[in-house]
């Protein structure tokens, strides 16, 4: 059981498989058309189509934002601000384009200090990366806090990574808000709730003027024909997505209850995973792997000593994972 990368453990909608089977030789031979996929994404997110940029997963969106933000080196090395711990692609993409990442530690409960972000700002700050819900903890940042930060960090860009927003039900995507905060860029992925991780498709959402330098950074046809065909169908199958969100919420509750029963510290999560502190993270990861359950060792991350991260997917998998975790902990004792 793959419970280490926060994937959709049920797989994509059956309707997606049907449309993929219908694609033929010319779909592979011809460059894809994105009009239907773009319109479906825009309608789903409630914004005009010119506010949406398709990307090859969230990773390409992060890279495009880093390129747009860090292009200008006239005042020295451009800086990005992020929190620690965090998704490592923010720093990887920033340094890849010649920028420097400045990290602000979260507190002991993994809560964000907006003031610490403000203190870290310098004339070289070009972009601030924040995930909501946060990875690897699943903690959320109040939307009012993000709105205030967008104003405070301007003219630097505020990139809000909403990879797990389907599970939390909260989003910064709103036409009026984007117009009022032209430095705001929101990234979304269809890897998690929609089960399209293997096809690689995400979107950036911002005003057209803000997206313009990112459009120039994304290569033409970086999203493949199969992903473009799958996206409208995945979005349209709301019943399947809603079922999976219910499974993930139930699994998250089961994991939290098990942690309380086993005396394992954890943190409230609004995402499809739970961060858990165990007595010995490497031994626990290895013990679970020996029982066919793969989880993520996050013990090397700042503030995450002896922590593992467990995906909350379909309930059947979660029950098996909890049983395996009980076996590992009991064997260790």
Residue 190 sits in the same domain as residue 294:
no
Question: Residue 1: its pLDDT value, please?
Answer: 94
Domain end among 236, 252, 267: 236
Question: Residue 134: its pLDDT value, please?
Answer: 98
Per the prediction, the chain carries an average pLDDT of 97
Question: Residue 3: its pLDDT value, please?
Answer: 98
Residue linked to tokens 């599970």: 167
Domain end among 236, 268, 292: 236
The values of phi and psi at residue 106, to 5°, are -75, 165
pLDDT of residue 75 exceeding 90, the answer is no
Residue 264 sits in the same domain as residue 224:
no
Nearest to 60 by CA among 234, 160, 200: 200
Residue 186 sits in the same domain as residue 201:
yes
Q: What HEC string does the chain produce?
A: CEECCCCCCCCCCHHHHHHHHHCCHHHHHCCCCCHHHHHHHHHHHCCCHHHEEEECHHHHHHHHHHHHHHCCCCCCCCEEEEEECCCCHHHHHHHHCCCEEEEEECCCCCCCCHHHHHHHCCCCEEEEEEECCCCCCCCCCCHHHHHHHHHHHCCCEEEEECCCHHHHCCCCCCHHHHHHCCCEEEEEECCCCCCCCCCCCEEEECCHHHHHHHHHHCCCCCCCHHHHHHHHHHHHCHHHHHHHHHHHHHHHHHHHHHHHHHCCCECCCCCCEEEEECCCHHHHHHHHHHCCCEEEECCCCCCCCCEEEEECCCHHHHHHHHHHHHHHHHHHC
- State the total domains in the chain: 2
- Binned at pLDDT 50, 70 and 90, residue 226 comes out as very high
- Binned at pLDDT 50, 70 and 90, residue 297 comes out as very high
> In this predicted model, what pLDDT tens digit does every residue of 95-134 receive, in sequence order?
999 999 999 999 999 999 999 999 999 999 999 999 999 9
For 150-175, b where at least 16 C-beta lie within 10 A, e where not — what string? beebeebbbbbbbbbbbbbeebbbbe
pLDDT of residue 332 exceeding 80, the answer is no
Report how far residue 94's alpha carbon sits from residue 62's, in angstroms, rounded to the nearest whole number: 9
pLDDT above 90 covers what percent of the chain? 98
Question: Residue 104: its pLDDT value, please?
Answer: 97
Tokens encoding 117: 């972000």
Question: Residue 167: its pLDDT value, please?
Answer: 98
Who wins on pLDDT, 76 or 331?
76
Residue 256 sits in the same domain as residue 232:
no
Domain enclosing residue 253, as ranges: 2-7+239-332
Residue 269 sits in the same domain as residue 322:
yes
Mean local confidence (pLDDT), 287-316: 97
Residue 24 sits in the same domain as residue 75:
yes
Mean local confidence (pLDDT), 266-286: 97
Question: Residue 213: its pLDDT value, please?
Answer: 97
Q: Given CA atoms 108, 111, 88, 148 in this order, what sign does their dihedral have?
A: negative
Tokens encoding 45: 């997110």
Mean local confidence (pLDDT), 239-268: 97
Question: Residue 331: its pLDDT value, please?
Answer: 82
Mean local confidence (pLDDT), 260-279: 97
> In this predicted model, what pLDDT tens digit does every residue of 236-253 receive, in sequence order?
999 999 999 999 999 999
Mean local confidence (pLDDT), 82-97: 97
Residue 265 sits in the same domain as residue 141:
no
Question: Residue 218: its pLDDT value, please?
Answer: 97
pLDDT above 70 covers what percent of the chain? 100
Angle (nearest 5°) at CA 125 between 123 and 126: 120
Report how far residue 276's alpha carbon sits from residue 281's, in angstroms, rounded to the nearest whole number: 9
Count of other CB atoms within 10 angstroms of residue 224: 17
pLDDT of residue 272 exceeding 80, the answer is yes
Report the CATH number that the domain containing residue 317 is assigned in CATH: 3.90.1150.10
> In this predicted model, what pLDDT tens digit does every residue of 303-321 receive, in sequence order?
999 999 999 999 999 999 9
133: preceding bond cis by omega (within 30 degrees): yes
| pTM of the shown model | 0.96
pLDDT of residue 74 exceeding 90, the answer is no
Report the CATH number that the domain containing residue 86 is assigned in CATH: 3.40.640.10
Q: Given CA atoms 194, 198, 199, 204 in this order, what sign does their dihedral have?
A: positive
> In this predicted model, what pLDDT tens digit does every residue of 148-162 receive, in sequence order?
999 999 999 999 999
């Amino acid at each position: 059981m793959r419970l280490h990368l926060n994937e959709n453990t049920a797989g994509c909608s059956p309707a997606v498989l049907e449309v993929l089977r219908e694609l033929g030789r010319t779909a592979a031979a011809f460059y894809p058309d994105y009009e239907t996929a773009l319109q479906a994404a825009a309608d789903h997110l409630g914004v005009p189509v010119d506010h949406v940029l398709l990307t090859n997963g969230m990773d390409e969106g992060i890279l495009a934002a880093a390129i747009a933000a860090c292009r200008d080196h006239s005042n020295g090395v451009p800086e990005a601000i992020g929190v620690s711990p965090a998704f490592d692609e923010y720093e990887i993409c920033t340094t890849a384009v010649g920028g420097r990442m400045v990290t602000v530690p979260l507190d002991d409960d993994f809560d964000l200090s907006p003031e610490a972000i403000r203190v870290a700002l310098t004339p070289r700050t070009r972009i601030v990366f924040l995930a909501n819900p946060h990875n690897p903890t699943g903690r959320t940042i109040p939307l009012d806090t993000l709105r205030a930060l967008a104003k405070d960090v301007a003219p630097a860009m505020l990139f809000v990574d909403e990879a797990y927003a389907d599970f939390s039900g909260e989003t910064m995507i709103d036409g009026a808000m984007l117009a009022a905060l032209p430095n705001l860029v929101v990234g979304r992925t269809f890897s998690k709730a929609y089960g399209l991780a293997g096809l690689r498709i995400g979107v950036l959402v911002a005003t057209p003027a803000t997206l313009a330098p990112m459009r120039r950074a994304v290569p033409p046809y970086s999203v493949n024909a199969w992903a473009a065909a799958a996206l409208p169908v995945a979005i349209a199958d709301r019943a399947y997505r809603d079922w999976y969100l219910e499974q993930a919420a139930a699994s998250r509750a089961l994991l939290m209850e098990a942690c309380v029963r086993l005396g394992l510290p954890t943190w409230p999560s609004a995402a499809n995973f739970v961060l858990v502190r165990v007595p010995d993270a490497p031994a626990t990861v290895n013990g679970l792997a020996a029982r066919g359950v793969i989880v993520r060792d996050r013990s090397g991350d700042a503030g995450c000593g002896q922590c593992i991260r467990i995906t909350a997917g379909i309930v059947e998998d979660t029950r098996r994972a909890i049983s395996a975790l009980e076996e590992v902990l009991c064997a260790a004792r």
